[in-house]
Amino acid sequence: MASGKNGEDRILKNLQREKCIDNKTWNEFFKRLAQKGQPNHAGEAKQWAVDVIIADPDRFACRGHKIPKKLFVRLFRLEDLKALRWRIPDCLNRLGINDEILIKELTDEELLSITDEYRDTIELGGKLGVVLATDYEVVKDVLYDLDDLVDKLGLRNLVNEKLCVIFVYKRNDIGSSLHLPRSFDGLDCPQFEIVEDCKADAGKTLPLSLPHEQGLPEVVHKECEIIPEQWKLRSIR
């Protein structure tokens, strides 16, 4: 993959450092990538790599070491408001709320009423069919400082946002194993760095500006539908 801007360099470095994905899966990924031809630029190469994962997530996603069941009993995510379009699409469609209304027109009170009143399942997942999450036990006592938490989690998309959505959910509810995040899981996530220990009990988030060692434990699992233990709108700053 050619180097470039917007995180492609880090994605390339993750692939170059990857030693934990089995050879059969690794070789098949690059075989399918090569079949797409020669990319014109780094962004195209990245998109083609993402397309390979999207086309066969069961083959390529969540290939890292399984996390012991005693760890990460409850999981935690922070997301921006736009993510609600993917988390509760039927609810928003029923209310006649499109993306523009969601982001620009609803008051905080109206947004809060949606998260407070909704009690059905929520869809977790992204383009690659995986979910990156941290350990709720690690963050539960520092939720008063979401600005700092955004930095530690490496959530660049939330840097200039006033509001976010908090998700807390049980490991037992996701219906699949937790895994150590590997390079394939982070192809669509520029602020992502793999750990080199193939048997580690967790990955580590890459902070935006804070020291590297302040990153938080991170795991990955397949997309799922859950009824979260907690989900609510919060002010970041």
Cβ-contact 231, 123 below 8 angstroms: no
What is residue 1's predicted lDDT score, i.e. its pLDDT? 43
Q: What residue type is assigned to position 213 of the chain?
A: E
pLDDT band at 5 (very low <50, low <70, confident <90, very high): low
- Residue 97 is given by DSSP the state -
Once rounded to an integer, what is the mean pLDDT over residues 93-109? 87
Interhelix angle 23-34/42-55, nearest 10 degrees: 120
- From the list 152, 190, 162, the residue with the least C-alpha distance to 49 is 190
Reduced 3-state DSSP string for 136-167: HHHHHHHCCCHHHHHHHHCCHHHCCCCEEEEE
- From the list 191, 177, 223, the residue with the least C-alpha distance to 65 is 177
Residue 113: in which H helix or E strand, if any?
helix 108-117
pLDDT digits (tens, 9 = 90+) for 67-96: 999 999 999 999 998 888 889 988 899 889
Radius of gyration of the chain (CA): 18
CA separation for the pair 189, 70 (Å, rounded): 27
Cβ-contact 180, 195 below 8 angstroms: yes
194 or 94, higher pLDDT: 194
- For the chain, first and last CA: distance in Å? 38
Best mean pLDDT range from 42-51, 104-113, 132-141? 132-141
What is residue 28's predicted lDDT score, i.e. its pLDDT? 98
What is the chain's mean pLDDT, rounded?
Answer: 92
On the question of pLDDT at 207 being above 90, the answer is yes
pLDDT digits (tens, 9 = 90+) for 35-74: 999 999 888 999 999 999 999 999 999 999 999 999 999 9
Report DSSP letters for 15-62, one per residue.
HHH---S-HHHHHHHHHHHHTT---SSHHHHHHHHHHHHHH-HHHHSS
On the question of pLDDT at 171 being above 90, the answer is yes
Once rounded to an integer, what is the mean pLDDT over residues 112-140? 91
Q: Which two tokens stand for residue 105?
A: 């027109």
Count of C-beta atoms within a 10 Å radius of residue 99: 12
- From the list 237, 201, 184, the residue with the least C-alpha distance to 78 is 237
Considering the chain, what percentage of its residues have pLDDT values greater than 70? Answer: 97
Q: What residue type is assigned to position 210 of the chain?
A: L
Domain ranges of the chain: 8-60, 74-235
